[in-house]
Chains A and B, each alone.
Chain A
Amino acid sequence: MKQFDQQTYYEILDLTPAAKPPDIRDAYRTALEMYQDESLASYSFFDEDERKTILSKLEEAFLALIDTDSKADYDQDLIRRGLINKDALDPTAQHEPILIDVLKRFRRENRVPVIRSKNLKSREMADEHLNNLLNHDVITGADLRKIRINVNISLDQISDETKIRTTYLEAIENDEFDKLPSRFHLKSFLRAYLKSFASDVEPYVERYLKRVE
């Protein structure tokens, strides 16, 4: 672990050396949201001096990287000092997911519950139907399909929300277990499928899976 003032501009902004100006701008904006005076997230985390140090370093990093010429100079310097590898500048190079990706993904995913909450009524209906199935020892894909159609949700919608391919969802409803990559996938896809219209999924997952050896 490096001291703060030993970190490269990339480390400070959670970027890779291959970052393009839009990434750099995004990263700087996120960093400001995290570190500036009014930031709720870092409230009481740093004292005033530390915050000043961080903010001025962030600005320094942003200005050095956002300008293509100055970034090129900085990169050459890092390569000379052995702090980064030349290949790291190649945008096609494999890299670890950086903070900005994680946050973007989180924001995307976080919109999902908003859509879902509109469906609370249909969820209530689905729960009622599902509840009736609890008397049965086993549940089939056809049972689930009936309920899904009843509450008016299409497989495409579920696929949109869960990012699971429609063909796999169809396989679940058709009891075609071997069309899924593995038993583990079957279980986790089934869970995700059920979650998109039901509140409590475990009892149904269990009853469905009873038929798979």
Chain B
Amino acid sequence: MRHILAVGGGKGGSGKSFISGNMGILLAARGKRTLLIDVDLGGANLHTMIGISYPRVSLSDFISKDVESLDDIVIPTAVPNLFLISGAQNSLDIANLHYQQKMRLLKAIPKLSFEYIILDLGAGTSFNTIDFFMVSNYCLFVTTPEPTSIENVYRLIRAIYLRKIKYVLNEDDFKAFLDGFLDRHKGIKLDFLADLLSMLHRKDPEKAMIMKQTLQSLNFKLIVNQHRKQDRPDLGQLMATLARKHLALKMDFWGNVSFDDRVHTAICSKVPFIQKYPYTRTATDLREICDSIMLLAEQTEEFQYAQQELQFE
């Protein structure tokens, strides 16, 4: 089974590429065939994070149709089992991809045969970026313990959330209903979901049920990166609780990744942090997150397997 993990979050360097790159290395070291895709067109630097200075080919070759298949732009890395599709040399910003270009890319990604595919989605919350979250199995948000970063993460969560709602209410008569509703509820306010569900229930109880289930099926994970000793350890836990209580969605807090000055040193020397400094608190934190990814993947597989069994009965 293929596990697609999208990594996103606030702008201003919360550590999305740092986490993506190091997760790729850890998963590969555990024998998992892993592909990193740098979808942060315009801001691509994931290749540098894993020690590749000049990627030969990149997504721009695919987007400009110079190559047919994504497989042709997969480059091997110095780490066995780890591969990269670079986003470098791209003059396009992801927000400006044409519809056809985007759809071609979106359809090609799930066809790649790797055990784990990690998408570094950069800081965007554009329409196009949200599409990439939608094709992923899991959404991982990276924030720092700073209000600016937290604000961005909440904006991203709301954008994905709203897209899901629109997706459920896609038929014509529901579209009008939703537009009217959104007009009255500017932003996603305190009673947004409770109101939406109760009004929808009056219109179509079955649809209201589907809505609730769809939103609950969102699989959000949260990491607090660059965590310093003086920061509260349970910040991420409180954020996850808020999302559950007020947006009725499941968000698991996957832990803090400690701040370490040597991250800067590692990046400057173009050696992946986890390889240069494996015996640091930060490295231990990263390994724990890798464990969480693998555990989640295992559970998902077991769940799907059990469902298949049920179908045969």
Interface residues of A (CB under 8 A from B): 1-4, 14, 30, 33-34, 39-47, 50, 53-54, 99, 102-103, 106-107, 110, 113, 116-117, 120-121, 123-124, 127, 195, 199-200, 202-203
A-B contact pairs, 27 of them (CB 8 A): A1-B193, A1-B248, A3-B195, A4-B190, A4-B191, A30-B238, A34-B241, A34-B242, A40-B146, A40-B147, A40-B150, A40-B235, A43-B154, A44-B154, A44-B155, A45-B246, A50-B189, A50-B190, A102-B237, A103-B234, A106-B234, A106-B237, A113-B281, A113-B288, A121-B279, A127-B278, A202-B31
Chain B interface helix/strand/loop/mixed: helix
B270 at interface, CB cutoff 8 A: no
Contact at B145–A40, with CB atoms within 8 Å?
yes
- CB contacts (< 8 Å) of B194 on chain A: these are 1-4
Within the complex, which residue of A43, A117, A202 is in contact with B150, where a contact is CB–CB below 8 Å? A43
Contact at A44–B279, with CB atoms within 8 Å?
no
B285 at interface, CB cutoff 8 A: yes
Interface residues of B (CB under 8 A from A): 29-31, 145-147, 150-151, 154-155, 187, 189-191, 193-195, 197-198, 212, 232-235, 237-239, 241-242, 245-246, 248, 253, 278-281, 283-285, 287-288, 291, 294
Contact at B284–A116, with CB atoms within 8 Å?
yes
- CB contacts (< 8 Å) of A127 on chain B: these are 278
Chain A interface helix/strand/loop/mixed: helix
Cα–Cα distance between A2 and B241 once the two chains are bound (Å): 17
- 12 further A-B contacts with Cβ under 8 Å, apart from A44-B155, A110-B233, A116-B284, are A3-B191, A34-B238, A43-B147, A45-B246, A54-B190, A102-B237, A113-B285, A120-B281, A199-B278, A199-B283, A199-B287, A200-B287
Q: Within the complex, what minimum Cβ distance (angstroms) separates A159 from chain B?
A: 20
Contact at A33–B238, with CB atoms within 8 Å?
yes
Q: Within the complex, what minimum Cβ distance (angstroms) separates A125 from chain B?
A: 10
Contact at B284–A45, with CB atoms within 8 Å?
no
Cα–Cα distance between A1 and B287 once the two chains are bound (Å): 37
Cα–Cα distance between A127 and B189 once the two chains are bound (Å): 51
Cα–Cα distance between A44 and B253 once the two chains are bound (Å): 19
Contact at A41–B239, with CB atoms within 8 Å?
yes
Closest to B231 in A: A40
Closest 8 CB pairs of A and B: A41-B238, A44-B151, A43-B147, A117-B281, A50-B190, A1-B194, A3-B194, A202-B30
- CB contacts (< 8 Å) of A46 on chain B: these are 190
Contact at B190–A43, with CB atoms within 8 Å?
no
Within the complex, which residue of B237, B253, B279 is in contact with A124, where a contact is CB–CB below 8 Å? B279
Closest to B26 in A: A200
Cα–Cα distance between A106 and B248 once the two chains are bound (Å): 21
- CB contacts (< 8 Å) of B239 on chain A: these are 41-42
Cα–Cα distance between A193 and B4 once the two chains are bound (Å): 29
Q: A34-B241, A103-B237, A200-B29 are in contact. Are A53 and B190 (CB under 8 A)?
A: yes
